[in-house]
């Protein structure tokens, strides 16, 4: 898929929205404004956006603990997401899900997931539904390097091959499953080798490079839409914050995240490339930055002001009919 | 028009009629067709006991053999349900839930609540349970209390062919996740079943025998054994009221409590081990809400707190039988403080 100027500006806007969203959640969490657990996606934006630029609303994704970026890229309403993280009645899940469970099935977002490896089986189901219904829709399971070792992931990759499903498995390998290094935990040469063992084509790309992700995802999604079955993409990437907010990250070498941010940041790389060769002016990106900052400011202000769910809501929505 | 068929045939007919009525209904599981990819016949098995036999010929690609991969295909059924289909997944033996429980209790059961009411997951998991076939510890359990414990799931255990058909049709049309328990000792049970389609609402227990002396609250295969005991006891002048719960979630508390209040004497019969069980749950319900009506302590007839043994002499003792049920009823009937 050739990228138009509008596509590039949209990609930048989405990546910037994710970054700004996560930076603000980081600040607000540290200030004690947000309860519970949050897992930030800052640094990994190119993975979500590189994939999602190929998807329509009808395509489905399943996400991870670190799901804010996938939600934003898939089109979940940003103020509603922020409100959800604040536990408000106006949130995506009306305050019942929180950061780890943001979902919007109407937007094709089947949920962040608190269970590592929870998503791949669900995406086999979404892909099966597309196949049975005869649409050209696809399902994309985002997993981390942690979930890459879960049995559900292996089983789902096998099932996707056996049923020739329009499913894509995108592994965001940020080097650490919680506090354990991917190099320690993955008992194989590479994730791509593993995927090939399940009978599907696999690519390994620099997850900071929007264009690399976009190209690999384009090929995988094209195959899926044409009935050629599942694919696997490993995005090698760096997370700028800890596993969760509050993680002291003493398992990482000092300066690792800072170096990635300074030298290999997806937004900087993207901006450098499109201003050099795509006819986009820095001012256009600056305008987006300002608009995104205002969007996130507004989302935080409204989330803080929004009402908590009615206390009686704790008993509703367990069943449709009981 | 009603005719006599087996419970197995009733389940097959329910699937057949719902698949004919609604193209979003699909069936998946290990060997639900049988023969996929092999050089011999397709529909070689139609499920390990032939419950789904013949459906492949009518519905083709909507009948899906799966690899032996319960986490993936139960999860796929859940994901497909959240994506517009009405999958019926067969978990061959309910004992196998250990390898796929996450997709049931953390995913399917919680979507609606966790997503603020903005999800529907109309999936049915059909699964065999129960002892008596010398199938030993990993193919004989009755783990319905584990599922009943989980908010968001509905749990159904038909006893008659009539109920099996009507409850399965309800399960498929239901918009919440349903676990449908089929006792392997009941498949050959015969009974009258209408040819036409019908559904039975969940949460309505069935008073299968009326009586004023002792209530026997039971479920699954144990309902038959309770009826057998009640017949014997009637000859002794003890009239039992036998209640078949039919669904443990939702639970028809009213019928249970009305029966307890009517007789004042209660025996609960459950094939599962006793701790944190349906038996203790029913007992607690009655103790809390019908305490004043009780004329004797509630008696529980259950399996022991052990795995299911293999050898016949052991398994026969493991399962409550009519003699044990009758003994418990006599004790309760004769109780005087």
Active-site option among B139, B149, B224, B305: B139
pLDDT tens per residue, range B303-325: 999 999 999 999 999 999 999 99
Q: Tell whether A85 lies on the interface with B, counting CB pairs under 8 A.
A: no
Nearest chain A Cα distance for residue B115, angstroms: 4
In this prediction, residues A45-72 reach a mean pLDDT of: 98
pLDDT band at A105 (very low <50, low <70, confident <90, very high): very high
Residue B1 has pLDDT above 90, yes or no: no
- Interface contact B84-A316, CB threshold 8 A: no
User: Which of A151, A163, A317 is nearest residue B116 as measured by Cβ atoms?
Assistant: A317
- From B209, B327, B207, B319, select the one nearest B267 (Cα to Cα): B327
CATH code of the domain occupying B206-333: 3.40.50.920
User: Which of B69, B152, B174 is nearest residue A318 as measured by Cβ atoms?
Assistant: B152
pLDDT band at A160 (very low <50, low <70, confident <90, very high): very high
Q: For chain B, give the mean pLDDT.
A: 97
Is B289 among the catalytic positions?
A: no
Looking at residue B337, what is its pLDDT?
87
Q: What is the ipTM of this complex?
A: 0.94
Q: What percent of chain B has pLDDT over 90?
A: 99
In this prediction, residues B207-230 reach a mean pLDDT of: 98
Write out the two tokens for A181: 């290094």
Q: What percent of chain A has pLDDT over 90?
A: 98
pLDDT band at B243 (very low <50, low <70, confident <90, very high): very high
Q: Return the CATH architecture of domain B2-194.
A: 3-Layer(aba) Sandwich (3.40)
Written as one string, the DSSP assignment of A248-261 is --TTSPTTHHHHHH
- From B107, B70, B123, select the one nearest A119 (Cα to Cα): B107
Would you say the CATH fold of B206-333 matches that of B2-194?
yes
- From B334, B333, B219, B327, select the one nearest B268 (Cα to Cα): B219
Residue A66 has pLDDT above 90, yes or no: yes
Locate the domains of chain B by residue range.
2-194, 206-333
Q: Which sign, positive or negative, has the C-alpha torsion A23, A118, A215, A78? A: negative
pLDDT band at B88 (very low <50, low <70, confident <90, very high): very high
- Interface contact A163-B119, CB threshold 8 A: no
Report angle CA B303, B306, B308 to the nearest 5 degrees. Answer: 75
Specify the DSSP element, H or E, that contains B9.
Answer: helix B7-21
Looking at residue A1, what is its pLDDT?
60
Nearest chain A Cα distance for residue B2, angstroms: 29
Nearest chain A Cα distance for residue B103, angstroms: 7
Whether pTM > 0.80 for this model: the answer is: yes
Cα–Cα distances (Å) from A317 to A59, B32, B146, B176, B197, in that order, read 25, 33, 21, 11, 30
- How far apart, in whole angstroms, are the C-alpha atoms of residue B11 and residue B243? 22
pLDDT tens per residue, range B166-216: 999 999 999 999 999 999 999 999 999 999 999 999 999 999 999 999 999
Chain A residues whose beta carbon lies within 8 Å of the beta carbon of residue B67: 155, 158-159, 162
Collect all residues with Cβ–Cβ distance below 8 Å to B257 and sequence separation of at least 6: B285, B286, B289, B290
- How far apart, in whole angstroms, are the C-alpha atoms of residue B24 and residue A36? 39
In chain A, the domains with their CATH numbers are: 5-300 (3.40.50.970)
Looking at residue A272, what is its pLDDT?
97
Q: Tell whether A129 lies on the interface with B, counting CB pairs under 8 A.
A: yes
Residue A304 has pLDDT above 90, yes or no: yes
Write out the two tokens for B126: 């059909």
Specify the DSSP element, H or E, that contains B268.
Answer: strand B266-269
Nearest CA in chain A to B100: A152
Chain A contacts in chain B segment 88-107 (CB below 8 A): 102-103, 106-107
- How far apart, in whole angstroms, are the C-alpha atoms of residue A284 and residue A210? 18
């Amino acid at each position: 898929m050739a990228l138009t100027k509008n596509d590039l500006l949209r990609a930048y806007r989405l990546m910037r929205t994710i970054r700004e969203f996560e930076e603000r959640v980081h600040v607000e969490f540290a200030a004690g404004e947000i309860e519970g657990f949050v897992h930030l996606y800052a640094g990994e934006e190119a993975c979500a956006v590189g994939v999602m630029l190929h998807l329509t609303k009808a395509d489905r994704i399943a996400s991870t603990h670190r799901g804010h970026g996938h939600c934003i890229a898939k089109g979940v309403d940003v103020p509603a997401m922020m409100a959800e993280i604040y536990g408000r009645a106006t949130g995506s899940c009306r305050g019942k899900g929180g950061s780890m469970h943001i979902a919007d099935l109407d937007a094709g977002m089947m949920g962040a997931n608190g269970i590592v490896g929870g998503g791949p089986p669900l995406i086999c189901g979404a892909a099966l539904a597309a196949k049975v219904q005869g649409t050209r829709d696809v399902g994309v399971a985002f997993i981390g390097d942690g979930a890459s070792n879960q049995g559900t992931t292996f089983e789902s990759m096998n099932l996707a091959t056996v049923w020739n499903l329009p499913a894509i498995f995108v592994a965001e390998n940020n080097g650490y499953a919680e506090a354990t290094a991917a190099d320690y935990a993955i008992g194989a040469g590479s994730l791509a080798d593993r995927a090939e063992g399940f009978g599907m084509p696999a690519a390994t790309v620099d997850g900071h490079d929007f264009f690399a992700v976009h190209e690999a995802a384009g090929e995988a999604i094209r195959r899926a839409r044409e009935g050629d079955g599942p694919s696997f993409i490993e995005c090698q990437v760096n997370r700028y914050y800890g596993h969760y907010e509050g993680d002291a990250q003493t398992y990482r070498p000092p300066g690792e995240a800072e170096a990635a941010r300074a030298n290999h940041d997806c937004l900087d790389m993207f901006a450098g490339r499109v201003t050099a060769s795509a006819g986009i002016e820095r001012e256009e990106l600056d305008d987006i930055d300002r608009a995104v900052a205002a969007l996130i400011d507004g989302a935080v202000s409204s989330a803080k002001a929004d009402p908590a769910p009615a206390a009686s809501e704790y008993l509703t929505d367990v069943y449709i009919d009981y | 028009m009603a005719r006599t068929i087996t419970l197995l045939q009733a389940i097959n007919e329910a699937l057949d009629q719902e698949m004919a009525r609604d193209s979003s209904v699909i069936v998946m599981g290990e060997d639900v067709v049988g023969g996929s990819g092999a050089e011999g016949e397709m529909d070689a098995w139609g499920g390990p006991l032939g419950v789904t036999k013949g459906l492949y010929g009518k519905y083709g690609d909507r009948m899906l053999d799966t690899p032996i991969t319960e986490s993936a295909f139960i999860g796929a059924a859940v994901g497909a349900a959240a994506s517009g289909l009405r999958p019926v997944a067969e978990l061959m033996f309910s004992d196998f839930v250990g390898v796929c429980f996450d997709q049931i209790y953390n995913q399917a059961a919680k979507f609606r609540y966790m997503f603020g009411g903005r999800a529907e997951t109309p999936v049915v998991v059909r699964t065999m349970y129960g002892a008596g076939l010398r199938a030993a510890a990993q193919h004989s359990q009755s783990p319905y209390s584990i599922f009943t414990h989980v908010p968001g799931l509905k749990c159904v255990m038909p006893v008659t062919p009539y109920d099996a058909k009507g409850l399965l049709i309800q399960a498929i049309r239901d918009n919440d996740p349903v676990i449908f328990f089929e006792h392997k000792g009941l498949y050959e049970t015969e009974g009258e079943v209408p040819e036409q389609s019908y559904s039975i609402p969940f949460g309505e227990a069935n008073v299968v025998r009326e009586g004023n002396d002792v209530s026997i609250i039971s479920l699954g295969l144990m309902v038959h054994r309770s009826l057998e005991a009640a017949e014997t006891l009637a000859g002794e002048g003890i009239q039992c009221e036998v209640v078949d719960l039919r669904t443990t979630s939702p639970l028809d508390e009213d019928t249970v409590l009305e029966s307890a209040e009517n007789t004042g004497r209660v025996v609960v019969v459950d094939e599962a081990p006793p701790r944190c069980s349906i038996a203790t749950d029913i007992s607690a319900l009655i103790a809390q809400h019908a305490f004043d009506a009780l004329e004797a302590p509630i008696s529980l007839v259950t399996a022991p707190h052990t795995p299911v043994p293999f050898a016949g002499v052991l398994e026969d003792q493991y399962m409550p039988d009519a003699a044990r049920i009758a003994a418990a009823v006599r004790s309760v009937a004769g109780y005087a403080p």
